[in-house]
Amino acid sequence: MEAKKVAVYAATGCRACENAILDISFQVNSLDRFARFEFWPYLLGSRLEDLEKPGDIDVTFFTGAISTECDEEAARRLREKSKILVAFGACAAFGGLPGLVNLQQAKKAPEGCEDGTPELPGLRRRVATLHQIVPVDYFVPGCSPPQNYTWTIMQSLVCQSGAAARMSFAASRLPRRIARSVLSGVLPPSGSVFAGEKAVCASCGRMKQEKLFASLNRIHRIEPDPLRCLLEQGLLCQGLATREGCGGLCTGAGLPCRGCFGKAQDIYDAGAKMVSAVSSTFDTTEAAEMQKIAEAFVDLAGTFYRYTAPAQCALLQTPESKRPADEDFEAAGGACNG
């Protein structure tokens, strides 16, 4: 079997997703037989000009959100040259933490630098996800994607089931149609998300009792019950609105889910779902008490859309070509934060 030509590119982000690709442990030996990395600025010192060389790339793993003109140019060039383009990680798939700037009014990008210093890449008016710029074939959520899903998509797209190592236990949470494709060497349906379909709560082992939200707690101020649902203990756990697949790693360790896998398949807007879930379970019927509980929440938009503002906030996901003026966006950001 001829080795696949693979590219990895990081736009705006923390580069943890690139490290996740390197962190596949003993699977590296299997991958080495099936992949030849042709373009990877982080490791190989590649430049965009290298994409002008003849020949296609079989699979590109694109990480990071698109916030600069350079990011956008790279996305377009890699889409044109790649047979398969993967949005790898929360920033590429949903906008991630860089996308939170979309909740604020857009400001004019700097004109350039003084004193002869190199000019910085021009900023885009809005941070975008990869699929808002070019068509994307597959999505791998997570911040960063866990090792099992990273290896699973490598096996599916690069090794095409030729590697001896099969899917791990956690990766078996994939929808059946994707899991069958991975194991058989057939490409999964275009647009597939390499994660589960239900919410994290479906795979969380914590006991769910009477859902009453009496007050907002913060994880560093309490010692949560190791067996009871974190949301019922006043912690803002987003497991009921977030796509499963991680196996409840954070909740299992006593930490609230932060939503890095994006919204569950049957949920339209994860932030709205969380507001509805929390507000409908306030443990009081008194208006003054409700107001007191509500005032304890800080930056709801930044919390509930921490990873997903550009793609999954209903008020902000209008296509750029149809977006209103900045002042209308400022109002929309205010609505999100309210």
261: pLDDT strictly greater than 70: yes
Amino acid letter for position 196:
G
Out of 104-108, 235-239, 330-334, least confident range:
330-334
**The predicted structure's pLDDT at residue 259:** 94
Q: How confident is the model at residue 324 (pLDDT cuts 50, 70, 90)?
A: very low
Task: Please name which of 164, 154, 159, 163 lies closest in space to residue 194, comparing C-alpha atoms.
Answer: 154
- Say which residue, 158 or 281, is predicted with more confidence: 158
107: pLDDT strictly greater than 60: no
326: pLDDT strictly greater than 50: no
Q: How confident is the model at residue 215 (pLDDT cuts 50, 70, 90)?
A: confident
169: pLDDT strictly greater than 70: no
Q: Give how far Cα 126 sits from Cα of 187, 206, 222, 269, 328, Å.
A: 33, 39, 38, 20, 14
**The predicted structure's pLDDT at residue 163:** 62
Domain boundaries for CATH 3.40.50.700 within the chain: 4-104+123-184
**What are the strands, taking DSSP E only, across 11-122?**
35-39, 57-63, 66-68, 82-88
Q: Do residues 66 and 72 touch, judged by C-beta distance below 8 A?
A: yes
66: pLDDT strictly greater than 60: yes
Q: Give how far Cα 136 sits from Cα of 109, 117, 232, 323, Å.
A: 27, 36, 38, 22
**The predicted structure's pLDDT at residue 23:** 84
Share above pLDDT 90 across residues of the chain, in percent, rounded to a whole number: 34
**The predicted structure's pLDDT at residue 333:** 41
CATH class given for the domain over 4-104+123-184: alpha beta
**To the nearest 5 percent, what fractions of the chain are helix, strand and coil?**
40, 15, 45
Out of 3-12, 69-78, 127-136, 274-283, least confident range:
274-283
Out of 14-23, 36-45, 98-107, least confident range:
98-107
pLDDT (tens digit per residue) in 111-161: 555 666 667 778 888 999 999 999 999 999 999 998 888 888 888 888 876
| 3-state class (DSSP) for residue 138 | strand
Residue 264 dihedral angles phi and psi, to the nearest 5°? -65, 160
- Say which residue, 96 or 209, is predicted with more confidence: 96
User: How does strand 35-39 pair with strand 4-10?
Assistant: parallel
Q: How confident is the model at residue 319 (pLDDT cuts 50, 70, 90)?
A: low
Amino acid letter for position 74:
A
| 3-state class (DSSP) for residue 241 | coil
Residue written as token pair 């690139």: 18
